[in-house]
Amino acid sequence: MGTDELSPTSWQAELVRFVAFTASPFVDESWFRLFTGEEPSEESKARDRGLTRAEGPFMNGRLILDFLPDRFQFLYSPTPSKAPASGLGPARAAWAAFVEGVETFFAQATCPEVKRVGLGSICSYRVADRTGGYRVLSGLLPTVTFDPDTDEDLFFQISRPRQSATFGITINRLCKWTVPIRSVVSVQIGPGGNPAAVVREGPESHAAVVELDINTDRQREEPIPAEHLVPLLKEFVGIAGNILTEGDRA
């Protein structure tokens, strides 16, 4: 399968994550309501870690908002009972809905100074078998030599930094490529609460999977100018979409 047959709509998002490292500690629990339009269904704190968390349903899955002493982050993932079978839908649509919510916070007067930002996503391309997954990746990894029909246990990871087209800053493009075999299992609990048996439910499934982590330079200490935050986030989405269609390119 060549890269001309792939598009972000071919790939399903299984997780989307945005993180912002702040210049000083920051907590605003009202942000969950601004993002989703609803109050969180669960709230918790872990004082030993300085963690404040709000979570609840969001679109096709669940949203978690974490505040930590040096950062805040949004995590959008399938509900535990469905992951990863249903995912979050087509990658491009999942990113767009998620990013639209994140953008609202950069416009808030309460938004703190941000030193570093990152957008992560796990995306999968469903295939019939392992060979099909290897054929998908063969068109996306031109510098990696392998035989889709005979080779196994493929795992390829690389980071390709580049200069931002939006702002004079380095963007890291970390990608991890693999073709896992997946299955849904249930754990039967025996006396004393100990696992008694693990039962596989349904057939195994296969997918080509890429884990994306697109972020700004970790060495940067000065805050990113506020007017560049939204353009940077949109640039991240463009980079992610290009990786899904073009694969690993310098």
The candidate with the shortest Cα–Cα distance to 176, out of 148, 206, 202, 144, is: 144
Question: CA-to-CA distance for 122 and 87, rounded, in angstroms?
Answer: 10
Task: Give me the torsion for CA of 16, 20, 25, 28, rounded to 10°.
Answer: -50
Output the pTM of the full model. 0.87
Q: What is the pLDDT of residues 41-57, one digit of tens each?
A: 999 999 999 999 999 99
pLDDT number for residue 188:
60
Question: CA-to-CA distance for 214 and 212, rounded, in angstroms?
Answer: 6
Contact 42, 67 (CB under 8 A): no
pLDDT number for residue 237:
95
Contact 183, 172 (CB under 8 A): no
- Asked if pLDDT for residue 81 goes beyond 90, the answer is no
Q: What is the pLDDT of residues 52-73, one digit of tens each?
A: 999 999 998 999 999 999 999 9
Residue that wins the pLDDT comparison between 193 and 41: 41
Domain that holds residue 180: 3-246
DSSP string, 200-240: EEEEEEEEEEEEEEEEE-TT--SPPPGGGHHHHHHHHHHHH
Tokens of 237: 């989405």
pLDDT number for residue 51:
94
Q: Angle at which helices 91-106 and 229-246 pack, to 10 degrees?
A: 170
Number of independent structural domains in the chain: 1
- Which residue is associated with the tokens 């896992």? 180
Region 230-237: what's the mean pLDDT?
Answer: 94
Question: CA-to-CA distance for 236 and 238, rounded, in angstroms?
Answer: 5
Give, in order, the Cα–Cα distances in Å from 28 to each of 111, 112, 227.
Answer: 9, 10, 21
Residue that wins the pLDDT comparison between 152 and 204: 152
134 alpha carbon, distance to own chain's centre: 22
